[in-house]
Amino acid sequence: MRTEDAAPVRVLVVDDHPVFRAGMATVLEDLDGLDVVGQSGDGAQAVEDVARLTPDVVLMDLRMPGMGGLEATARITTTHPATAVIVLTMDEDNDSVFAAL
């Protein structure tokens, strides 16, 4: 339960599609209690941005060129265990979803 004087939840949005990423950030910014602190276009940038921005939550796409969401999630949860990662994907590949868990 959040109180009105609680600090906003700091969110980093990670997706390789700029229009989707910006749209998601805009939607989240309109919600009370959330503060979008950054946007990353791939997994490597997300790992760097988590270290720099210290978000509470990362909204992570799984399929991205270069370092994908699975590897980025593993690195983030290892080096920043207090940061939660929520995975978003349109992929119907059960193996990817289970790997993210």
pLDDT of residue 12: 98
The distance in angstroms from the start CA to the end CA of the chain is 25
Homologous superfamily in CATH for domain 9-100: Response regulator (3.40.50.2300)
**How much is the average pLDDT of 14-28?**
96
Among residues 48, 36, 27, 30, the alpha carbon closest in space to that of 9 is found at: 36
Domain ranges of the chain: 9-100
Q: Is the dihedral of CA 26, 74, 62, 41 positive or negative?
A: positive
- Provide the whole-model pTM: 0.86
